Amino acid sequence: MSNSKNYSLTTLLYVKKHRIKNGLAPLYLRISTGNSKVESSLSKKVEFKKWNSKRQRLNGTAQDVKQLNRFLDQLLNKVHKIFEDLILDEELISAEIIRNKLFNLEEEQQITLLSASKYHYDQNIHNFSTGTLQHYKVTERYFERFLSTKKNLSDIAIEKVDYKFLLDFEAFLRAWKPKDHQKPIGHNGIMKHMCRFRKVLNYAYKMDWITDTPFKKYHISYEKSTRTYLTVEELSAIEVKELDIARLEQIRDIFIFSCYTGLSYIDLFNLSKDHIVIGINGEKWIQYKRQKTSTPFSVPLLPKALELIEKYEDHPKAKENQLLPVVSNQKTNAYLKEIADLCGIKKQLTFHIARHTFATTVTLTNGVPMETVSKMLGHTKLSTTQIYAKVVENKIGTDMAALKEKLSSSEQMRKAD
């Protein structure tokens, strides 16, 4: 899809000299626009000696000559009208599409990047989790923004997506500056978009829509990231802070609930009373399946979590069957930023930090075995949980280094005395 800034239309009427027979030559039309070009026979033969290649018409004043020249005038007028209508309707423009409309040929639908992305999404709507589907929609919106702002296109034929296109798209993501509260996309976030892009193109390759994929030349790499979490002091500061605004108090409480249960946003959003059961120890537990991986997990409810469940029991703002009144992830993170400012916390506070805080400050730091934490978090691999253990080890190392420095200073002061 495109507009007039990207495409110009040229036409050529010509005869094929090498096919002259009995002085008659077949007449052809060539249509060119953008990078596409098609040739079509007009199923007419003309006297080669009368054909004026410069005027692209027959010479002469005979009635049959005038009739053919009028036909050619009308034909080219129709070509230009089709081209202008495609621009006006913001439809995909190619020489083949114009030719098909001109001769009323059955059009084979051209596969574009966005149509391939939508088809891949529709085919996996029952295979992917809601969260994964949302991620693919976000990537698709970035496709649209990139095409619009950088390529001046509304879509592009899938076979025209080359290695340079991938590099340009990555550069666009790195330079993208959100207009709302969200921070720019980090390296790993960009790589996740590129990974989803690769899956769409791999799918197009399997469907024989493209003969090869440019991702064979493109390397996806992730940076090792540290898990941001709240310290005991920061968690306490949020818990005890008096908040006069009801919406902030509500979001704070939802966040704290996750700090003491380890639930991700989407799992907490979908949590209902049915997921609260009496566990093996006779106390209340959460038993559920992670939406992201469908992995079952069980979490005994700590006193703080039980207190919050009681506080929000049958809350009017909770959606049907919701245990707690969880609002959209975007609003939640926006309000958490306000809460962090009010509590004097310098960290970029997002909802997922609550899950990290549960894994580190609430459980591992307090001696809960890693295998137990892994089960409660619903991790499919212990190595995922070990990342949190490294965070705890790093903190211990930092604390001990500070203690060593403090002891050294005390020793020096004692000797000085």
In 3D, which of 225, 123, 112, 202 has the Cα closest to residue 161? 112
Give 211's DSSP letter. S
Name, in order, each residue with C-beta under 8 angstroms of 213's C-beta and a sequence gap of 6 or more.
Answer: 198, 201, 202, 204, 205
| Dihedral over Cα of 371, 374, 375, 379: its sign | negative
Domains of the chain, CATH where assigned: 9-102 (no CATH), 113-216 (1.10.150), 232-399 (1.10.443.10)
- 10-residue block means of pLDDT along the chain (417 residues)? 62 90 92 84 90 95 94 95 88 84 70 92 87 91 93 86 96 85 82 97 89 92 83 95 94 97 93 92 91 86 95 86 90 94 93 93 88 88 77 65 74 67
Q: Write down the pLDDT at residue 2.
A: 43
Query: CA angle 246-251-254, nearest 5°?
Result: 125
Position 49, amino acid: K
Q: Write down the pLDDT at residue 406.
A: 75
The pTM assigned to this predicted structure is 0.56
Distance CA 136, CA 128 (A): 10
* Torsion angle of C-alpha atoms 398, 401, 402, 408, degrees rounded to 10: 180
Distance CA 108, CA 97 (A): 9
Q: Write down the pLDDT at residue 1.
A: 40
Are the CB atoms for 33 and 10 separated by under 8 Å?
yes
